């Protein structure tokens, strides 16, 4: 039942595409100590793609055909959302909040008519049990989830353990909350006001009211503080790394692109360390060391190693680090002095190689089969202070034990440590003065990253000339263009920008994604029909993908049953 109502609430979330207005204020009941918050700008989304656009899509029609009776009732409700009683013009929000040694989540929205909302619920789930307590109505969806509402608002509340002590300490258990506790949390949330609301933080208020389609707020301090409350981590100072650490972001669907802009706020102790070091962008000299021509992906980063060492000390982990390094007569200070901190890499392609694999046959005699394998062509370099880095390089060689893969090349000279699969690319990296076609996508920031999406997609093209699979590849290449990401740090916070460019610059990306999903759905149905014709048997075990080499006979234990 819980999953059914989760689906119902997800559909309610989709209804925002049919809405027209957004309230002037946030109007959100989000506690000031929430760990994760997501909000929706229903006005901008509805301007970019309407609910009619979705209903006209083939993928949506196919989903309706597969609906159960309950799903059909939901679909009927969504077809006319005004009858749901929900105020789809007022916006929706989701948050997660830690509570003692556990946590809970809330999905909330406003109501125009509580009576219509209750009637809609009864239509979706026959025989639903609705109870009332004080001014709240509620129904239990499971042992750990309830749906509540009053005259003006609804809230779905569920148990959501947020204590990670099992992962970090190997012991301890999260508190689990049942219906009575969740009902108490609901009452507390409905009564929030003033400074108990996250709206009282100007950063959150500015975020939610800013231009954009979706907004998020993540507090690392609230999310992870319970995890560092005991065990060996409590003896260190890991809380210093997450104290006051807030991530915010705004996602926007624009013509021809999807963009994400955000800010990362740091606590006083961590910001004090980061402010000590120069955070200038990557130089042209570093960018021009990357391979000329095109690349599948490339990135450059200006990293301060001394800053990383100071952060390790802040966390209280320097003792452990020095203990390990001491075995090789090294220290954190020596590592900090050995690096300049410029990092650059590029993936320029995939190289086909013929590989022969040998296995034991049925009679115990060795047999073999040959297949094609694709290895990446890449180069990675980090700038070093040569005379001080040589000691680390000797340690690296010692750890390698004199062994390394045949297709990996390592160079340590001219103040660069370079690892790559192409010796010519390494030589060009050392020489510099290359002319990457993608250089302009990597300029001006502390961190820059670029992906040529069509070229990456091309590497997945069907090797057995599957016409439908190749049509999917062609469609994807014609839809997606490139991905870029950059980040800078200034004055106690980092700012970052991400863009995914689509080929058609004149149409909103949300509509393009809907069209892409529709076209892929048509191809996937053709592919499924083809497989059902070519493979009319049921295989009970996982079979290697068509592009992968077949397993040797001795490893193939496949039970084939006749098709009914």
pLDDT of residue 78: 55
In this prediction, what percent of the chain has a pLDDT beyond 70?
81
User: Which of 52-61, 265-274, 322-331, 441-450 is the least confident region?
Assistant: 52-61
**Digit-coded pLDDT (tens) for 281-295:** 889 999 999 999 899
Between strands 214-219 and 153-159, the pairing is unpaired
- Contact, 135 vs 152, CB < 8 A? no
Please determine, for residue 528, whether its predicted confidence score (pLDDT) is greater than 80: yes
DSSP-derived secondary structure letter, 15: G
Q: Tell me the domain boundaries of the chain.
A: 2-234, 276-490+507-534
Helix axes 69-79, 2-14, angle to 10 degrees: 20
pLDDT of residue 140: 86
Please determine, for residue 542, whether its predicted confidence score (pLDDT) is greater than 50: no
Please determine, for residue 346, whether its predicted confidence score (pLDDT) is greater than 90: yes
pLDDT band at 382 (very low <50, low <70, confident <90, very high): very high
- Contact, 480 vs 454, CB < 8 A? yes
Question: What pTM was computed for the model?
Answer: 0.81
pLDDT of residue 502: 97
**Digit-coded pLDDT (tens) for 95-153:** 999 988 889 999 998 898 999 988 888 877 777 888 988 889 999 887 788 999 999 99
How does the average pLDDT of the chain come out, rounded?
A: 81
Please determine, for residue 45, whether its predicted confidence score (pLDDT) is greater than 90: no
pLDDT of residue 173: 60
Element (DSSP H or E) covering residue 470? helix 467-479
pLDDT band at 76 (very low <50, low <70, confident <90, very high): low
CA 426 – CA 516 distance, rounded (Å): 39
CA 128 – CA 137 distance, rounded (Å): 12
In this prediction, what percent of the chain has a pLDDT beyond 90?
40
- What Å distances lie between residue 402 and 74, 382, 389, 421, CA to CA? 64, 22, 19, 18
DSSP-derived secondary structure letter, 224: H
Look at 546 and 34; give whichever has higher pLDDT. 34
């Amino acid at each position: 039942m819980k999953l059914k109502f989760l689906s119902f609430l997800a559909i309610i979330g989709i209804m925002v595409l049919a809405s027209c207005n957004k309230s002037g204020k946030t109007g959100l009941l989000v506690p000031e100590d929430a760990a994760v918050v997501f909000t929706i700008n229903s006005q901008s989304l509805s301007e970019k793609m309407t609910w009619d656009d979705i209903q006209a899509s083939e993928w949506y029609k196919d989903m309706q055909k597969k609906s159960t009776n309950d799903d059909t009732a939901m679909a009927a409700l969504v077809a006319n959302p005004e009858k749901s009683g929900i105020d789809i013009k007022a916006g929706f929000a989701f948050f997660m909040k830690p509570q003692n040694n556990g946590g809970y989540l809330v999905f909330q929205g406003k109501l125009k008519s509580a009576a219509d909302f209750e009637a809609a619920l009864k239509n979706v789930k026959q025989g639903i049990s609705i109870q009332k307590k004080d001014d709240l109505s509620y129904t239990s969806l499971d042992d750990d989830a309830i749906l509540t509402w009053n005259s003006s608002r609804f809230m779905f509340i569920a148990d959501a353990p947020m204590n990670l002590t099992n992962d970090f300490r190997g012991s301890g258990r999260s508190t689990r909350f049942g219906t009575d506790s969740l009902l108490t949390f609901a009452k507390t949330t409905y009564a929030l006001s003033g400074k108990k609301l996250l709206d009282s933080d100007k950063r959150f208020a500015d975020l939610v009211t800013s231009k954009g389609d979706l907004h998020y707020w993540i507090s690392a301090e609230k999310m992870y503080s319970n995890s560092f409350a005991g065990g060996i981590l409590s003896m260190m100072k890991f809380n210093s790394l997450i104290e006051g650490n807030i991530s915010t972001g705004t996602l926007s669907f624009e013509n021809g692109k999807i963009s994400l802009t955000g800010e990362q706020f740091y606590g006083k102790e961590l910001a004090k360390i980061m402010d000590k070091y120069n955070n200038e962008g990557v130089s042209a000299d570093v960018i021009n060391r990357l391979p000329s021509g095109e690349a599948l992906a490339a990135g450059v980063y200006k990293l301060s190693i001394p800053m990383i060492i100071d952060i390790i000390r802040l966390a209280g982990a320097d003792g452990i680090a020095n203990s390990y390094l001491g075995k090789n007569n090294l220290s954190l200070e020596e590592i900090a002095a050995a690096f300049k901190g410029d990092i650059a890499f590029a993936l320029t392609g995939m190289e086909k190689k013929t590989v022969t694999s040998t296995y034991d046959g049925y009679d115990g005699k060795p047999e073999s089969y040959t297949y094609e394998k694709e290895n990446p062509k890449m180069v990675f370099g980090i700038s070093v202070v040569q005379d001080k880095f040589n000691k680390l390089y000797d340690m690296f060689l010692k750890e390698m034990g004199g062994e390394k893969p045949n297709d990996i090349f390592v160079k340590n000279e001219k103040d660069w440590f370079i690892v790559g699969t192409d010796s010519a690319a390494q030589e060009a990296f050392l020489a510099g003065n290359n002319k990457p076609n993608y250089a302009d996508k990597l300029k001006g920031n502390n961190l820059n990253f670029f992906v040529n999406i069509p070229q990456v997609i091309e590497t997945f093209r069907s090797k057995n000339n599957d016409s439908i699979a190749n049509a999917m590849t062609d469609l994807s290449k014609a839809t997606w263009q490139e991905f870029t990401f950059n980040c800078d740090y200034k004055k106690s916070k980092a700012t970052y920008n991400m863009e995914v460019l689509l080929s058609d610059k004149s149409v909103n990306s949300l509509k393009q994604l809907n069209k892409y999903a529709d076209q892929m759905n048509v191809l996937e149905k053709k592919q499924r029909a083809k497989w059902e014709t070519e493979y009319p048997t049921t295989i009970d075990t996982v079979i290697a993908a068509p592009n992968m080499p077949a397993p040797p006979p001795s490893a193939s234990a496949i039970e084939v049953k006749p098709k009914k």
